[in-house]
Structure 1
Amino acid sequence: MENKVFTYLEFALPIHNCVIIPELGGFIVNQEEPLHHIDANVSVPGYMIAFNPDLKHDDGVIVSYYIRDGKMTYNAALQKIKDFVKGLKQELSTQKPVTCGRLGSLYMNKEGKLLFEANPSFVFPSLYGLTAVGLSNLSDINRRESASRKSFPVKYTLGSVAAAVVAMFLFTVPSANVSNNNGLQGAIPQQSGFIYSLAEQVKPLLEVDSVKVVEAKVENKESQTPPQSLRTYYIIVGGEDTQSRADRLLDKIKKSGLQSVNILEAGGRFRIYVASFSDKPEAEGFLDTFRKENPKYETAWLYSKRN
């Protein structure tokens, strides 16, 4: 069954990590950390897509795409999604699997439970081009560092010898017993050309290490610049389609005991959030703790918004 719902889902899921199709269920992305093998190889991180049929409320993600692309109201967009879900469930009731774009397929078992099978060949945009990395053993690294240290004295010795040779020619005074001025005039240009050639050959040896040190300092300064977050993560506990209804919901939540709540407007939807973070792991940790401490808001979810 082809529909814009799955097209929007495929686009939004890598961004939000959790997208709910109202009256159907929620699609959740679980990140799999890179595996460290005994042979010193690190595999590519992966993602596993899970489906939770108990998440049926509207999180506003799919609806916002309908509103933006179809130029329609929130209620009209939500009704289109509900009509699609109704037809989808009728088709699934015939025990026929339904493809969800490139993400995978939905099917219903004999007990009437809705299940999802992920597409193993689907690659998330953030993983394009990544390959496994091989790491060197610590003993090999120490061996190479030891060899490089031993080579430094040789380099500096060659530079010192070459510099001494140049100095010897520069400060050598011609003999006062020269009787032929023509011979002296012929020797001076030849000697100057040789000294200039030798100095040019020595110059790279004397400059190469200073250049490397400067470059290393520049790289260290650049690496110290902290990265700036491009997204803000909000802990959402409710939402409405108008400002007035959102204000009433905000007052109700405050009276129930949550005082640090605010309204976030995005995509024609007004969401109530209790906290915001620039770091995603920190936001996820807060969400887990908040759900445990506030069972009344166990359906609270994480909303990501580009800055």
Structure 2
Amino acid sequence: MRLDNYISDLLYRYECVIIPEFGAFLTQRKGAQVHQTTNAFYPPSKVLSFNAQLSSNDGLLVKYIADVTGKEYENVLQKVQKEVASWKQDLDNTTIVSLENIGDLSINTEGNIQFEPSYHVNYLTSSFGLASFVSSEISRVTPTSEEIPELVAVEEETPVIPLVTTKEERSGFRFPWKYAAAAAIIFSASVFGFREYQSNQQVVEQSKAQESINEYIQQATFFGNNPVELPSITLQVAKEIKNYHVVAGAFRIEENAHTKVSQLKATGFDAALLGKNRYGLHQVSYASFATREEASEALIKIKQTEAPEAWLLVTE
């Protein structure tokens, strides 16, 4: 049985696919990138990695193969174990195990499994149809001082109209300067008086408004014998959503799942039953978190102190 096709299908939908008694393939979202040297543009993608410590069977892979092939769960589990045994034998013989569209597995000098991911498939569904491409570098030309045209200042000539008066005009027309001065004084006094009046009106209005406010405050503060019922205030507080769960296990029998929750709570964990997944297994979490950072820190601690087979589940 070739497992790489089934593993590849699950990597599109899950961040962790465990191969029982072997290890787990993990995915992590990676943003779009630009290569500074080759000017190549890469769309957002999922980066594959392998963790040999996550080898406990969570039922995801075996149940998926059973549903696709229509075979019994136990029968599929035996075939998976047989394929895993073949992989381990190849690795012991220093043979590279190549999984199509996933990557190559080999043994390093320290005797650990080394994984080299394949970059032929992008498992991020939101980037479907986006391919990498190379764009030529844009050359920017800065013009020299000789190419910049000189700015020529144009001074417009203002026409000068000569003032010519005759003796008759000087004697026949005299501008009434004294009347103009008197009119200016009267206009200035009117404007000043209007501004003073407007200012006094504003002071009066402000005083009336302040008195009304003080009277309202007194009525609201000192109820006396007839208390006034104030309107109630309803506050809407956003509930913190916790989509990151450190999974302790998945159980086919619900009673076993509840027993596991009680055991974890007795040891101090904020354990909870996450419900039944699409494969009919009841998942139990050590704790749930609102951010990936908090969940990752808790997962590392739990794997070191409690259960190496614990894994991270992300729900929408």
- Written as runs of structure 1 = structure 2, the 5 A alignment for 1:149-168 is none
* TM-score normalised according to structure 2 size: 0.54
Corresponding residue for residue 246 of structure 2: 235
What SS does the corresponding residue of 2:94 show, helix, strand or coil?
coil
Corresponding residue for residue 29 of structure 1: 27
Corresponding residue for residue 84 of structure 1: 83
Select 2:313's aligned residue among 282, 303, 307. Answer: 303
After TM superposition, give the deviation of residue 261 of structure 1 in Å: 1.1
Q: 1:69 to 1:124 in 2, by over 3 A?
A: closer
- 1:287 equivalent to 2:298? Answer no
* Aligned-partner Cα distance in 1 for 2:256–2:74: 14
* Aligned-partner Cα distance in 2 for 1:37–1:118: 19
Q: 1:92 to 1:257 in 2, by over 3 A?
A: same
Runs of 4+ in structure 1 deviating by more than 6 angstroms, as ranges, are 36-42
After TM superposition, give the deviation of residue 270 of structure 1 in Å: 1.9
What is the root-mean-square deviation of aligned Cα atoms in Å? 3.4
* Aligned-partner Cα distance in 1 for 2:74–2:107: 29
After TM superposition, give the deviation of residue 9 of structure 1 in Å: 0.7
Corresponding residue for residue 265 of structure 1: 276
One-letter identity of the residue aligned with 2:15: N
What SS does the corresponding residue of 1:16 show, helix, strand or coil?
coil
Q: 1:30 to 1:241 in 2, by over 3 A?
A: same
Select 1:12's aligned residue among 7, 10, 15. Answer: 10
One-letter identity of the residue aligned with 2:45: G
Q: 8 Å contact 1:51–1:116 — kept in the other structure?
A: yes
After TM superposition, give the deviation of residue 10 of structure 1 in Å: 0.4
Structure index of larger Rg: 2
Corresponding residue for residue 103 of structure 2: 104
One-letter identity of the residue aligned with 1:284: R
One-letter identity of the residue aligned with 1:300: A
- 1:64 equivalent to 2:63? Answer yes
Unmatched segments (≥5 aa) in structure 2:
136-242
* Aligned-partner Cα distance in 1 for 2:59–2:268: 25
Corresponding residue for residue 256 of structure 1: 267
Corresponding residue for residue 142 of structure 1: none
Q: 1:264 to 1:87 in 2, by over 3 A?
A: same
Deviations 1:108-136 (A, max 9, x none): 345543222212222335233325799xx
After TM superposition, give the deviation of residue 283 of structure 1 in Å: 4.4
* Aligned-partner Cα distance in 1 for 2:86–2:42: 41
After TM superposition, give the deviation of residue 37 of structure 1 in Å: 7.6
Q: 8 Å contact 2:299–2:312 — kept in the other structure?
A: no
Deviations 1:138-161 (A, max 9, x none): xxxxxxxxxxxxxxxxxxxxxxxx
After TM superposition, give the deviation of residue 52 of structure 1 in Å: 1.5
* TM-score normalised according to structure 1 size: 0.55
After TM superposition, give the deviation of residue 102 of structure 1 in Å: 1.4
One-letter identity of the residue aligned with 1:303: L
Deviations 1:215-246 (A, max 9, x none): xxxxxxxxxxxxxxxxx654312222322322
What SS does the corresponding residue of 2:306 show, helix, strand or coil?
helix
* Aligned-partner Cα distance in 2 for 1:285–1:90: 37
After TM superposition, give the deviation of residue 22 of structure 1 in Å: 1.1
Corresponding residue for residue 128 of structure 1: 128
Q: 8 Å contact 1:291–1:298 — kept in the other structure?
A: no
* Aligned-partner Cα distance in 1 for 2:89–2:268: 42
Which has a greater percent of helix?
1
One-letter identity of the residue aligned with 1:90: Q
* Aligned-partner Cα distance in 1 for 2:262–2:71: 28
* Aligned-partner Cα distance in 1 for 2:245–2:83: 29
* Aligned-partner Cα distance in 2 for 1:299–1:93: 23
What SS does the corresponding residue of 1:83 show, helix, strand or coil?
helix
What SS does the corresponding residue of 1:87 show, helix, strand or coil?
helix
What SS does the corresponding residue of 1:238 show, helix, strand or coil?
strand
* Aligned-partner Cα distance in 2 for 1:233–1:71: 32
* Aligned-partner Cα distance in 1 for 2:36–2:113: 40
The number of equivalent residue pairs is 204
Unmatched segments (≥5 aa) in structure 1:
135-231
Corresponding residue for residue 157 of structure 2: none
